Every structure is written in structure tokens, then in C-alpha cells.
Structure 1
């Protein structure tokens, strides 16, 4: 074994000794490991799971490689313009993200959505909105052909009503397909809609959100 390989195990043993015990280092550098070591580790993990549960957040369903040249608002774009982007390591997945971001910047520059200015990249103020609308228009066109219905864009202050047909997961987020007899609309998805797939819904577009009235009732729960 190499010296670095051995040192990795030593650091691991030191961490175990401090956290749960059951391992002791002898003066000659060898280690004594308790016979119930695996039981100790399992108990420790169960305790950690209770006191410090792990939560997993899905950032995107699109692979990094596909995001590099995707004509829509991707997770890479949101990270590039974020005031508090996630910290990235210089190896493994962090390195892959850095490389993808660099290639995405060049794509954005070619699309006239960003420009190089001295030692930094300046992004257009409405870059995400432009990319989001591009994807929506493209998906709406595909759905129009598939459903045989015309697409009606959701506009602020306008009431939307129809059957909640399905949920779409796009690069820019989740959207609901609201279907009427001759047209359909795409609107941002909200968790409250999960239990109403296939049902009649209505709502009024307000800014980037919608005040929903769920079901056919004249007066009912609004969100």
C-alpha cells in the first residue's frame, strides 16, 4: 500500500476513535479494533439519522452535458447568475460542474445573452426570462401538434380555467397543462395541484403566481 493510502485509513480510524470509540492506537502505530466495531458503527449511524436527518433536494433532472447547449433556462444558468451559488470542489462532481459552466458561458455569449467585459462575464438582465420563454414556446408548439389544440399564453390579470391535464417537468421548472375545448395553457406548477390532476381548476394570473380555485364549486378553497 502507498503511504497516502495508509494515511487515509489512519485519519479514518482517528475520526472513529473520537466519534464512537472502540479503536485504540498502540505505541508502535498499530490499531486495536473492538470485536463489536460494526455494531457500534450501525448504532452511531442510527443515532445520527434521528438527530441529524439528511434531506435531499432535486436540483434538476437534466444531465450536465445536456444543459451546456440547451436552449432554455437550466440549473447551470441559475447558478451562474445567482448571488449565492453553491460551493464547488475542484475534483469529482464539482470539477464537472465547473467545466460545464465554462462551456455554458461560451454558449450564452454566442447567443448574445452574455458578454465578456474585461475579466468577467456580464449576463443580460432578462437572460433567464428569455431562455424560459424559448423553452415554453418550443414545448407549446410540440403539445399543440400532439393535442390538436392551439396554445394560449397565460397573461397577468386573465382568468385561466379548464381541466388540469398533466404536469410537465421542464429545464426551467414544473408546469401545469390546463386544457380547454379548443386551446390549452402552460402555467407554473404548484404542489397544491398534485391532488387535482384530471379535475377542473381555475385561477387568475398575478405576476409570476396564480390564485387558484380548485374544483367546480362556486366558492371554495383558494390558494
Structure 2
């Protein structure tokens, strides 16, 4: 009918001599009645219909959404779960508000393998379908892993704040920044030139985006809304959803783990306002109760006379250290190389030889000729695999100092 319509009008008034076409005409009129109910066609006179210009794209979108709904139902059934299709939420772009839930499906969105689609069973009681995911951001996430998906990160960079703060009358001078950095003395390893050069490279990138203007080697024109425009530029370039893997372990593995799990962080925070009483939210509540009982059995928590639970002091750090020690000894047996725990404040050096995925998080294996250690991993060191690295252990994290970037606390 779309192909036969003239200026979107189609004439289906009866022709007495066309007996063979009566059956086809009846089918078309019934279809047009359905399209009319959907506000995609309008009858102007008996048998004369106008097709909406939204007809084809709307039907195509409805077909795609029907396919998505079936995919979501299949993923839920594979997990032994049932959800009301009314709770399905399909996101055509990065979600406006963070979504926390477990991964129940993960598949390629295109033939080139450049984007992924995730189906997430949310703690909010909804099942979410999110496409356009960067595959590198969810490499470690498996079916059952707990993740958070939010809007693109538009938080301003510290370097942009520093540039804006040092600009005088809209002019930033690298030489002035170098003087200030030397006066403050807060740049580790004293690489002041490299520190300021990093800010100039940032300005070069923003100059190409039309945000900053280079006057000469020591003068840059900075607009009054520099920080906001720089943040918007980053958000536009990295418009994909912002993803955090909260736990690669599913709920069942977290309940009996000897490490610091996502459930433990929820128990310590005590906030359950985001947990739906149905669906995955209800499963998380039950898992938290079982994890709490586990801590009581292990002596890491005690029930008070008033019914409240008192947890061991520094529970998260204690569990993390306990798991790292156990995992380190297991790796030592395989490597035939002694394991040593890294102390807080210690500078760790050695070859970055791989990673270990624990319930407490992902850890980097740093080896020397006579020993190795496990320290918290961060994406920035992935490119250093097989190379010498150096970092300072600080409160459950590591400030890596790599190449020319050392001293920037990456």
C-alpha cells in the first residue's frame, strides 16, 4: 500500500467488475482499520485513506522493539527468571540515571564487533536493554556479574580546573604555571616540566575542538566558560554509557566469599532504598541477609541484644587483605615464587605480568626476580603488560607512575 499510494493517499473504493480484487480489498481495509486505531492512517471518505508519513518508521521501530522484548524474555528464561514485560525498559542511548543490576545477556550489536548490547536485571525491579556499549569496558563482566551503567561522564578534569584557575584576564601562561608548580612543590618526583607539558597537550586537543586559542608559545586564550565547554567536549566524544563493574562474581559466589564483596559494601552502607521488593532487588535483599549470617558464623560480625548487627572494625579492608593473602599463597604455589603482601604507603616496583580477578576486585601481579605481590589494578597499566611499573600503595588503591606521566598520580 505504501508503494501504491499517491501522495500518501490510497483509493480502495469498490469496483463492481473487479470480483477477484474484492478479497484483497477486504484484507487491505481491515489492515487500514488497524493502522487507523494506531493513528497511522486516516479515512477521509469511504474507501479513501491517507497513510501517515510516520507509518513505515513507526512499524519498523515496533518490529525492532518486539524482537528486543523476545530477546529479553529468552535471556530471563535462561536464568530461570520471569519478569512482567511491562517492566522492560529499552534504552536507545546511555541511560539518564545510573542503573545497577546483574548482566543476564551480552551480545554484539553490529557485525564489526564495535558495540555490545547488554540486558541487565536491575535492582530497581526493571529489566533494561542497553545498546551501544564499548566492548572494552565490559571485558571482565560475565553473565551474573553486577554492574552499574550511567550517563556519559561529564565531570570536569582537574587539569581543566587548574588551567581555568591560573588564567588571568582570559590568558593562561605555561611559564606562570611552571613557577606556581615549583612554588607549591606538590608534583611527585619533581617533574615540573612534564607536569605543565601535560596541560599544554590538553590545550592543544581543545584548540582543535575550537575551545582554546593559542596566541604564542606562552599564551593561550581561555574562554570564561572553559571548564563547561571542555567537559561537554569530553562527554560528546565519549558519549557511550559510563560503566563500572561492581562485582564479577554473582550473588551466590559473593555470599560465601572470603573477600570484600559488593554485598559487603552494601551491608556497611545499610542503605537499601534503591532495592525493589521484587525481581533482582528482592534477590539482593535475600543475599545480603545470607551474607550477614555468614559474617556472624565467621566471627566477623555479632548480633546485639537489640537485634542489630555489629561488624568487625575496618571490615572491608580486613576481608580484602585476607583474600589477597590467600590468593597470593595459591599463586605462589603455581609460580614457585614467594608472595609478599604490599604495605600501605609502600612503593611497589617490578614487572607487570598479569592480573588476578578476586571478589575484592581486580589485582595486578607485579613480579621481581625473588618475589611477587598483588596490588589493586587500574586500566591505565594495561598497556604496560610485560614492562616495569612503579606505584605507591595508598588506602586500598595505587597511584601508578608510568613513563613521562610519572608524578601525575594517574
TM-score range, shorter chain: 0.7 to 0.9
**1:140 is the counterpart of 2:161:** no
Q: How does 1:134-213 map to 2 (within 5 A)?
A: 134-213=322-401
Separation in structure 2 between the aligned mates of residue 212 and residue 55 of structure 1, nearest angstrom: 22
Task: Pick one of 289, 297, 306 that aligns with 1:110.
Answer: 297
* Alignment CA distance shift 1:184-1:88 (3 Å): same
Q: TM-score, normalised by structure 1?
A: 0.73
* Alignment CA distance shift 1:78-1:207 (3 Å): closer
Task: Pick one of 18, 33, 40 that aligns with 2:38.
Answer: 33
1:19-74 deviation per Cα after TM superposition (whole angstroms, max 9, x unaligned): xxxxxxxxxxxx91145243465899999527956544322111111111111111
- 100-109 vs 121-130, which moves further: 121-130
Q: TM-score, normalised by structure 2?
A: 0.42
Structure 2 residues not aligned, in runs of 5+: 1-35, 41-54, 66-88, 97-150, 152-240
Q: How does 1:55-70 map to 2 (within 5 A)?
A: 55-70=242-257
Separation in structure 2 between the aligned mates of residue 87 and residue 183 of structure 1, nearest angstrom: 44
Aligned length: 190
* Alignment CA distance shift 1:211-1:61 (3 Å): closer
How far the C-alpha of 1:136 sits from its partner, in A, is 0.6
Query: Does the aligned pair in 2 maintain the 1:79–1:86 contact within 8 Å?
Result: no
Provide the residue aligned with 1:76 in structure 2: 263
Provide the residue aligned with 2:43 in structure 1: none
Separation in structure 2 between the aligned mates of residue 125 and residue 67 of structure 1, nearest angstrom: 20
CA RMSD of aligned residues (A): 2.9
How far the C-alpha of 1:83 sits from its partner, in A, is 5.4
* Alignment CA distance shift 1:126-1:66 (3 Å): same
Separation in structure 1 between the aligned mates of residue 308 and residue 376 of structure 2, nearest angstrom: 33
Which of structures 1 and 2 has the bigger CA Rg? 2
Separation in structure 2 between the aligned mates of residue 209 and residue 60 of structure 1, nearest angstrom: 17
Separation in structure 1 between the aligned mates of residue 376 and residue 320 of structure 2, nearest angstrom: 11
Query: Does the aligned pair in 1 maintain the 2:325–2:341 contact within 8 Å?
Result: no
* Alignment CA distance shift 1:34-1:82 (3 Å): same
Separation in structure 2 between the aligned mates of residue 84 and residue 68 of structure 1, nearest angstrom: 18
- 48-57 vs 119-128, which moves further: 48-57
Structure 1 residues not aligned, in runs of 5+: 1-30
1:157-201 deviation per Cα after TM superposition (whole angstroms, max 9, x unaligned): 433211001122211111110011110011111222121111111
* Alignment CA distance shift 1:213-1:39 (3 Å): same
1:103-140 deviation per Cα after TM superposition (whole angstroms, max 9, x unaligned): 11111111111122213222222211221111111100
- 182-191 vs 35-44, which moves further: 35-44
Separation in structure 2 between the aligned mates of residue 158 and residue 51 of structure 1, nearest angstrom: 40
